[in-house]
Amino acid sequence: MSTPRFLLPQASSIAFRIDVFFWSMTALCALVAAGVIVAIVFFGVRYRRGSPAPRTDRHRDALGVEITWILVPFGLFVVAFIWSLSIFALARTPPANARDIYVVAKQWMWKIEHPGGQREINTLHVPVDEPVRLTMTSQDVIHSFYVPAFRVKQDVLPGRYTQLWFTATQPGTFPLLCTQYCGTDHARMGGTVIVMPRAEYARWLAGQGGAGTLAAQGAQLFRAHGCSGCHGSHAVVHAPELTGLYGRMVHLADGRSVLADDRYLRDCILEPSAQRVAGYPPVMPSFSGELSEEELLALIAYMKSGPAGVADESADERR
């Protein structure tokens, strides 16, 4: 079934669910509003000044009516809550096999980098029928990543990572917008999402070249900043082991336990004393102001790339 021309295309796996929920809530609100308007008009006409309608003040017990107008709206609210919660959970839980792509927003452009090192500005190429997970951060102010045809939107914040995922279901070119006012040229901060068949997307990736994979760029930064001299199984400095760290729970010196995800790794690089690992002295220097957002993403990609990478770098440093 084709989408009516006055509606946006439903170009993602979640778009239909969101549209059904939106129009259902719109119809329900319209029905309630129509009922209120009809009641207002009816009683306004019936009890207008000079009408013969009876106006005797008689008390009536209508327990059934009172219970009905309490339980029916309550039931509707419960259904709407559970329905919206299921859609929200689906929209915020990317599949484990989702393709990772990294986005850095700045006034006034979208800077995009693929794991293979391919870079784009204001254009995002993705394969059709494959889940894509965007890890996003801002270099300056708050932005908001919005693709109307996919029915997905996520604020992009300075100093932290936010995630957004989608599965594009039809090839084509779709507008990308920033929906958070971000300064003078906010209205010009846009772009396009280009959805391609998988084989064509693979050829596009191969033809873009790039300065090595994102993980390889991170490995170079890892060596250049001396990280491999401390974080390794045979390092002289007593520092936390990074091999296989990503995705594990980490016990901190203040008694808390946190998940070693992208945000945790970023915070450890920029503010190591704020989340010091239990049993380790606070000797790591802060790299705040020394690394760009792109370099941070590369370092994190390197630490996520596998348990062997960090250990190999430590061995190279000793040689």
Please answer whether residues 239 and 230 qualify as being in contact, where contact means their C-beta atoms are separated by less than 8 angstroms. yes
Mean pLDDT of all residues in the chain? 85
pLDDT value of position 303: 84
**CB contact set of 244 (below 8 Å; sequence gap of 6+):** 307
The reply to whether 13 falls in a domain is no
251 and 172 housed in the same domain? no
Percent of the chain, pLDDT > 70?
90
**Strand pairing partners for 126?**
195
Q: Is the same domain home to 172 and 247?
A: no
Q: Which of 51-55, 70-74, 312-316 tops mean pLDDT?
A: 70-74
Contact predicate 168/133, CB 8 Å: no
Pair (222, 308) in one structural domain: yes
Statement to judge: residues 162 and 236 lie in one domain:
no
Residue 150 DSSP one-character state? G
Q: Does residue 222 share a domain with residue 168?
A: no
- Where does the pLDDT of residue 294 fall: very low under 50, low under 70, confident under 90, or very high at 90 and above? confident
CATH of the domain at 139: 2.60.40.420
In a domain? residue 28: no
Domain of residue 107: give its range: 99-208
267 in any annotated domain: yes
Q: Residue 59 falls within a domain, yes or no?
A: no
The answer to whether residues 265 and 203 belong to one domain is: no
Domain count for the chain: 2
- Distance in angstroms (rounded) separating the CA atoms of residues 261 and 18: 29
Cβ atoms within 10 Å, residue 73: 11
Q: Which of 88, 114, 90, 84 is nearest to 13 (CA)?
A: 90
Does residue 293 lie in a domain region? Answer: yes
Instruction: Confirm whether 131 is domain-assigned.
Output: yes
**Tens of pLDDT, residues 15-66:** 999 999 999 999 999 999 999 999 999 989 988 888 888 877 666 677 888 8
Contacts of 52 (CB under 8 A, 6+ apart): none
Confidence of residue 13 (pLDDT cuts 50, 70, 90): very high
- One domain for residues 260 and 225: yes
The residue from 152, 176, 208 where one domain ends is 208
Q: Are residues 204 and 224 in the same domain?
A: no
169 touches 127 (CB < 8 A)? no
In this prediction, residue 307 carries a pLDDT of 44
- pTM exceeds 0.75: yes
- Which CATH number characterizes residue 230's domain? 1.10.760.10
Q: According to the model, what pLDDT value does residue 314 have?
A: 42
Spatial CB neighbours of 81, under 8 Å, sequence gap ≥ 6: none
